[in-house]
Amino acid sequence: MKEENTHSGVKEIARRANVSIATVDRVIHNRPGVSEKTKKKINDIITELDYQPNVLASRLASRKIISLAVLIPRVSEETDFWEAPFRGIMRAEAEIRKYGIQVQTFFFDLNDKHSFTEQAELILKKEVQGILLAPSFIDESRQLIQACQKLKIPVVFIDSNVPEQDNLCYIGPHLFQSGYVGAKLLTYRLKENHKVLVVNISKETDNYSYLQIEEGFRSYFKDHSQPCEIIRVDIKDTDKLSVAKELTRVLYDHEDIEAIFVTNSRVFSVASFLENAGRKDISLIGYDFLKENIRFLKEGLIDFLICHKPEEQGFRGLMALYQTLVLGSPVEKVHFMPIDIITKENQAFYQN
């Protein structure tokens, strides 16, 4: 042991692997010219020794700039959800900028597919080395991902996933289980032979995320053999007036609805409607720790909020690109965030 302790860092790795220091350096910095067998041997020794290379010195020596792009929705009057992921992205950028990494953030309008496509095209002209993406528009996201595959640009998804894509990783909620939890929470005030309403408030009502959440929601009642009539309404005009108009129609047609489950952060729009209609008898569950949602939670119009650590998603998403492009280390293909349940009683202590 004493003899081994006289060795350190790259020299020790090279000694154990019986290769040159230059070979170890190529593996550490993910450069070509090393066989897969030798690369595996060196990486195994690196793991065993828990070796952390001097990334800062290496990056400063190379003087190579790595450009990353972030494509997420902009904060709007309708929802400030994306403030939290953006905070996480800025926190990650502050940590990695010293390594010669530049981050540009591009924003699109959640109500406008064209704005997403415009920003995606702009990113592809920038010759970036990695992209952090919120794939809110499925078809448009697939087109961007396909273009990135041709250019060998790694893409990380946050908040929602796109199935069967060759992305670097997904960081966000287990959508099916999130909906499943929502259904379980909803049952606490329901009577027998109940009727519930699932509300999708989005221009993209066929969004993969909403569909997965709804599937999980319905599965809970099926798995537990609970008789329940589930009504679904898609509201594509997302302003409060349009939401109120559509809900008025649905509740007129179905007077015996006992509970409402909203599949995204716009649950405050439904809470506002119920408040104006004097319908505190209807239980309400939705998503995300937003200012307006918290207000209605405190007032008892929202029973539960389900949250998935959006700030942490933004932070982890950017760090996954750093880990891949700078450290040359593997990342988990899927990293599920916790499914947090926020109530009137615990909201003051929650960190988003």
User: DSSP readout, 79-125?
Assistant: --TTHHHHHHHHHHHHHHGGGTEEEEEEEE-TT-HHHHHHHHHHHHT
Query: CATH second-level architecture of 62-172+310-337?
Result: 3-Layer(aba) Sandwich (3.40)
Name residue 171's amino acid: I
Q: Can you give the pTM of this predicted structure?
A: 0.82
Kindly list the strands in the beta sheet with 155-158, ordered across the sheet, starting from the edge strand earlier in the chain.
101-108, 66-73, 130-133, 155-158, 169-172, 334-336
User: DSSP readout, 33-63?
Assistant: SS-HHHHHHHHHHHHHHT----HHHHHHHH-
Q: Which CATH code for domain 175-307?
A: 3.40.50.2300
Q: Take residue 150 and report the two structure tokens written for it.
A: 């041709």
Give yes or no for a contact between 126 and 69, defined as CB atoms under 8 angstroms apart: yes
Q: Which CATH code for domain 2-53?
A: 1.10.260.40
Q: Take residue 203 and report the two structure tokens written for it.
A: 């221009």
Residues with Cβ within 8 Å of residue 122, at least 6 apart in sequence: 106
* Residue 164 pLDDT: 87
Q: Take residue 112 and report the two structure tokens written for it.
A: 């406008």
Equal CATH topology for 62-172+310-337 and 175-307:
yes
Residues with Cβ within 8 Å of residue 22, at least 6 apart in sequence: none
State the first-to-last Cα distance of the chain, in angstroms, to the nearest integer. 46
Distance from the Cα of residue 259 to its chain's centroid: 27
Checking phi first, is residue 278 left (phi over 0); if not, alpha (psi -120 to 50) or beta?
Answer: left
Q: Domains of the chain: which residue ranges? A: 2-53, 62-172+310-337, 175-307
* Residue 5 pLDDT: 37
User: How would you write the pLDDT of the chain (352 residues) with one tens digit per residue?
Assistant: 333 333 457 788 888 889 988 888 788 777 788 898 998 888 888 877 767 666 656 665 566 789 999 999 998 877 789 999 999 999 999 988 888 899 999 999 988 999 999 999 999 999 899 999 999 999 999 999 999 999 999 999 999 998 889 999 999 999 999 999 999 999 888 877 689 999 999 887 667 888 999 999 999 999 998 888 999 999 998 888 999 999 999 999 998 899 999 999 999 999 999 999 999 899 999 999 999 999 999 999 999 999 999 999 999 999 999 989 987 778 899 999 999 999 999 999 998 8
Distance of alpha carbon 280 from alpha carbon 241, whole angstroms: 19
Q: Take residue 278 and report the two structure tokens written for it.
A: 């004097």
